[in-house]
Amino acid sequence: MTISSVDFLPKGDFNRSSAQPLESFQNIFVSVLMPVYNMQNSVLDSLQSVLQQSHQNFELLLFDDGSTDNTVEKINSIQDPRLTLFKGITNQGRPFARNFLLQKAKGKYIAWLDADDLAYPSRLYKQIEFCENNPKCVAVGASSLVFSPSFSFTKDLVNIPTLLRAQLLFKNPFVFSSFFHKNIPGVVFKSALLQTQDTDFIWQISSFGELGGLSTLLCKHLVSDSHQSSLSSSYPYILQGMKNNLPLPSNFPFQSLAILFREPKKLSLNEIDFVLHELKKNIPNIAGQYPELKTAIHSIFSYHVLKCSYLFSPILIKYLILANPIWIYKLYKSRY
C-alpha cells in the first residue's frame, strides 16, 4: 500500500538507504503507541508511515476507543505481526487510551503518533540514535510540519535542554506525535487536566533526566483551522501549570504573565513592564529551584517583549540587555 498523502515530503526523507540503522541499534526494541477514535480516513496512512520505518525492531500498539465508523475494519485490513489492536467498548477518552497502551508497552523506548499524523521513515532511528548517544536524555522531540486545510508551517524544535525546560514552564514546545521517551513506569496522563495533559506528562518525564530536540523534520502533524483561535480556552490550564511549577508568590500577576507568553500584543507596554519587573524580582527564587533556567527565562521574555512592538522603547532596551541573542534567534526560528 502506498501513502498518497505524503507527496509534500522531500524525496530524501523516504529513501531508506539514507538512514540505515546502525548495527549497534538493531536490537533496541521500541513501542510505537497510537490511540485511535473515528479515524477511518487517516489511520491507514499513519500506520503505513510506521511500518515503513528504517528501524524495524518495534511493536505497534493501538487502542480503539469505541470508534463508531470503519476505523477498526481499516486497521484489521493490515496483516503485520508487529501490529496489535486493543478495542474498547465505549469511548473513555484519550488519557485512558494512552495509559492503557503505556501498560502494555514492552519497548525500551516509547514513540507516540496520533492516528491522523505521519512519521517520516527515519524517525525511530534518529531518535534512538540521539537517546543512545546522550545517556542523560530521557526524551527527545523533533521538528514537525504543522498543517491544516488552510495553512501550514514548519515548527522547528530547539536543541538546548535548559531552554526546552524553560519553554515548558509556559507552553508545550513539542509536537506530541514527535515525542519519544524512555519507558518509565508510573508516569501517566491525568484526565482532569484536559487541555494540558501532554505538557504535564512531559513534565513528569523530565523529572528523570534531560529533554532533547532534533532540528530534523520527522513528523507531519494535522491541526484544525480553529487551533490558532483556541488559546483563550487554554489559559486556565496554563495558569494552573504556572502556579504548580513556578516558585512565585500567590499575589504574582500570573494572568498577565500567561498573556505575555501567548498573546503579548494584548498587553500595554506598562503592563509588560510591570509583569517583567515582578518576574525579574523573583528570578532568584526560580534560580534556586531551577538553577539552569535563569538565563533561558531571560531570553524567552526578552524575545516576547520584542514581539510586542516594532519600536525600540525603553522597555525593549531594558530587557534586551538580559537576553541571549543566539537563543532569541533560535526561538525565532522555532516559531515559538
Beta bridge partners of 110: 31, 181
Q: How many residues does the chain have?
A: 336
Task: Kindly report, residue by residue over 169-227, the tens digit of the pLDDT.
Answer: 777 889 999 999 999 999 999 988 777 789 889 989 999 999 999 999 999 998 865 55
Backbone angles phi, psi at 96, to 5 degrees: -60, -45
Cell 529533554 identifies what position? Answer: 211
Rg (CA), the chain: 21
Q: What is the spatial distance between Cα 15 and Cα 10, in angstroms, rounded to a whole number?
A: 10
Note whether 106 and 85 are within 8 A (CB). no
Residue 264, C-alpha cell as written in the block: 503579548
Note whether 140 and 180 are within 8 A (CB). yes
Does residue 167 carry a pLDDT above 50?
yes
Mean pLDDT estimate for the chain: 84
Q: What is the spatial distance between Cα 167 and Cα 184, in angstroms, rounded to a whole number?
A: 23
**Taking the model in full, what pTM does it have?**
0.83
The number of CA neighbours under 13 Å toward the Cβ of 65 is 19
Task: Kindly report, residue by residue over 265-315, the tens digit of the pLDDT.
Answer: 888 888 888 988 888 888 888 877 777 777 777 788 788 777 776 666 777
Beta-sheet strands, E only, within 184-255: 210-222
Backbone angles phi, psi at 247, to 5 degrees: -80, 70
Q: What is the spatial distance between Cα 138 and Cα 119, in angstroms, rounded to a whole number?
A: 20
Number of C-beta neighbours around residue 161 at 10 A: 19
pLDDT of residue 23: 61
Residue 221, C-alpha cell as written in the block: 502533524
pLDDT of residue 311: 66
The structural domains of the chain, ordered by start, are: 11-222 (3.90.550.10), 231-333 (no CATH)
Q: What is the spatial distance between Cα 70 and Cα 38, in angstroms, rounded to a whole number?
A: 7
Beta bridge partners of 33: 61, 112
Distant-in-sequence contacts of 98-102, Cβ < 8 A, 24+ apart: 98/33, 98/35, 98/63, 98/189, 99/188, 99/189, 100/63, 101/31, 101/33, 101/34, 101/35, 101/61, 101/62, 101/63, 102/33, 102/187, 102/188
